Every structure is written in C-alpha cells, then in structure tokens.
Amino acid sequence: MIPLKPFPIPVVAAGPGSQTEDEQLDYLSLPQGMDTYRAPLLPEPEELHGHDGAVAALHAVRAALARVVAGEPAAPVALDGLAAADLALIHQVLGEGEVSAQVLPREDHGQAQAQIQESVFAGIWRVIEVLADGRVRDRIEVGAAPEVLGRAAREDAGRPRPDLLAAPAGVMNALPVLTELEDHRQQWRAGQPAQVVNLSLLPLTPIDIGFLDHVLGTGRVLILSRGYGNCRITNAEVAHTWRVVYYNSQDTVILNSVEVCALPEVALAAAEDLADTLERFDEVLAWVAQG
C-alpha cells in the first residue's frame, strides 16, 4: 500500500481575530513555506535493465498524460501484476507530491476503500483501491483528480439528512447558513466556480457548529493538501458540499469554510499544471531511455 502521511489535523471552528487591550493587533501567523516541484531522485540508467514492466508503465502514463492535455479522456494505467521491484521503481520515479487522500470503507458495502497519493508531477496520481471482496486494484490515473474521490462523494450524498426544523435550543445562526448552502446547491451546475461560505467570518456558536456538522454530515473522503501550509478537506453527506479548513505552519486554523462544487480547487491539478507535467515527464522518460 502507499505509505500515506497521517491526517492529524482536527476540524474546528475559527472566528475572527481579536485585539488586545494595549491596542496592538495580534495577527494569526500565515504559512511560511510553500511546496514546489522537486525533481525525483531517478535511478541510474543501468539500474533500469530488467525492469521492462516499469518502463512500459511509465510510457503508458506519458501517453495518457498527452491525451488529457489534449482534452481527451484517458484510461488508468493498471499496475496489477507488476513485480515488486518494478512497483518500487515506479514509486521512486513518481515520488510523492503535495496532495494525498483516503476513501474510507462504507459500512453497508463491505470494506471497499482507497489510498491515493499525487506524484511530484501534478495530475499524476497513484491509486490503490481495495474492493469489498478483497481484490486490490493498483493503478495510475492522470487528470485533475482521481475518479474515486468524486464517486465516493456522490455515493455519500444519497443518505437521508436530519430535518432543519429539528434544530435544538441554542442554535442561532446555523439555520441561515444551511439555507444559504441549500440555495447554492440548487443553483450550482457542473463547470461553474465553487460557491464558498466562510464560516470563520460568521458569528457561530459551538452549538451552531455542532448543528452544522450534524446536518451536513461527514463523508468518507479525506484529502490533505500541503502546498501552502495545510488544507484538510472532507466531503459532506449532501450533494456537492465540502468542508475545507486551512491551517498555518503552527497548525492553527486560518480559514474554515464550506464549498459547493464538484471538488475543491485546492485539491485539483489545473490544466496548466498538467501541461507543465507533460514537459517534465518527457525529461524523465529521456533519462529512462538511456537505460
């Protein structure tokens, strides 16, 4: 399985900043570092001898990448059946990028789950999916995001949700927020920009936050992006709705929001990223060709 980094960051509410009595503003510390592309540590050309399976898979990834950049669909590159040494070589060439994800098992569908790691090449994803019958599908997907993330979110959205009229005593501002989110869901269409509700700027009490969590629910998709600080993303159990929480370098919440979209943009590889990846991947294959 892919050695994914843990998800240690809790999701909590964040309110506006405060001012001290001596009138000196106390600002939240912003992220100090940003992950950038670092070329993977490639094996020496002579080390590639005898790894025809790995080399063929890398060329298949390049072909899929070219199709995606051209605006065409591309099938995943299956890694099932490759020798352990070939899989290790592929993992070395691809490296680990800034986005990782998990799809947790669904209780009413056995133990199906997935582990996902973006490579150092934006838009190239290693996906290992364990099906309910125990079979393992190991593959590389090329695109903005792996298909399994959106599929799991759509499955979770089919579950019944609590009635808003059942709000407990003490709920003050959660109902208008939930109504606004429902309005966004009714109006949002695929391809449109995300509709964002910034909870950090709203006067929400702990009871409000608890009721929001109760109504929206928490789905099975967990995404962690480490591009600039940390961003933790979870899907809700209503359609096209995601909890997106940003943290600074000290793991302090700097933005707590809900987005209505297919997938939050921070988790996606942009079209320009994929075009850049194609150029960099060609450099890797040129090195591989020496072997």
pLDDT above 80 (res 8): no
* One domain for residues 257 and 191: yes
Residue 178's domain comprises 145-268
Domain count, the chain: 2
Instruction: Specify the length of the chain in residues.
Output: 291
- Whether 216 is covered by a domain: the verdict is yes
pLDDT above 70 (res 240): yes
- Whether 15 is covered by a domain: the verdict is no
Percent of the chain with pLDDT over 90: 63
* One domain for residues 130 and 43: yes
* One domain for residues 194 and 260: yes
pLDDT above 60 (res 148): yes
With tokens 């009490």, the residue in question is 205
Residues with Cβ within 8 Å of residue 222, at least 6 apart in sequence? 7, 101, 102, 103, 104, 232, 233, 234
- Whether 4 is covered by a domain: the verdict is no
Mean of pLDDT values over 44-68: 87
Mean of pLDDT values over 206-211: 92
The answer to which of 26-35, 145-154, 171-180, 209-218 has the lowest mean pLDDT is: 26-35
- Whether 5 is covered by a domain: the verdict is no
Q: Is the distance from CB of 38 to CB of 226 less than 8 angstroms? A: no
* One domain for residues 138 and 205: no
* One domain for residues 239 and 287: no
Q: How far is CA 276 from the centre of its chain?
A: 20
Percent of the chain with pLDDT over 70: 81
> pLDDT tens for residues 260-281?
999 999 999 999 999 999 999 9
Quick check: helix, strand or coil at residue 242? strand
pLDDT above 90 (res 103): yes
CA dist 89 to 86, 248, 269, Å? Answer: 5, 34, 24
With tokens 């939050």, the residue in question is 264
Identify the band that residue 239 occupies on the pLDDT scale cut at 50, 70 and 90: very high
* One domain for residues 156 and 262: yes
pLDDT above 50 (res 7): no
Identify the band that residue 251 occupies on the pLDDT scale cut at 50, 70 and 90: confident
CA angle 125-53-74, nearest 5°?
40
| CATH, residue 161 | 3.30.1370.140
* One domain for residues 134 and 205: no
pLDDT above 50 (res 117): yes
> pLDDT tens for residues 34-51?
555 566 666 676 666 678
* One domain for residues 245 and 161: yes
- Whether 234 is covered by a domain: the verdict is yes
* One domain for residues 136 and 67: yes
* One domain for residues 194 and 230: yes
- Whether 47 is covered by a domain: the verdict is yes
Identify the band that residue 164 occupies on the pLDDT scale cut at 50, 70 and 90: confident
pLDDT of residue 279: 95
- Whether 278 is covered by a domain: the verdict is yes
**Burial of 185 (C-beta count, 10 Å sphere; 0-12/13-18/19+):** middle
pLDDT of residue 284: 87
* One domain for residues 134 and 171: no
pLDDT above 90 (res 17): no
Mean of pLDDT values over 20-37: 50
pLDDT above 90 (res 106): no
pLDDT of residue 16: 45
Predicted model pTM: 0.82
* One domain for residues 134 and 238: no
Phi, psi angles (nearest 5°) of residue 244? -125, 115
**pLDDT, greater one: 15 or 166:** 166
- Whether 140 is covered by a domain: the verdict is yes
Identify the band that residue 29 occupies on the pLDDT scale cut at 50, 70 and 90: low
Q: Give the gyration radius of the chain's Cα atoms.
A: 21
**pLDDT, greater one: 109 or 285:** 285
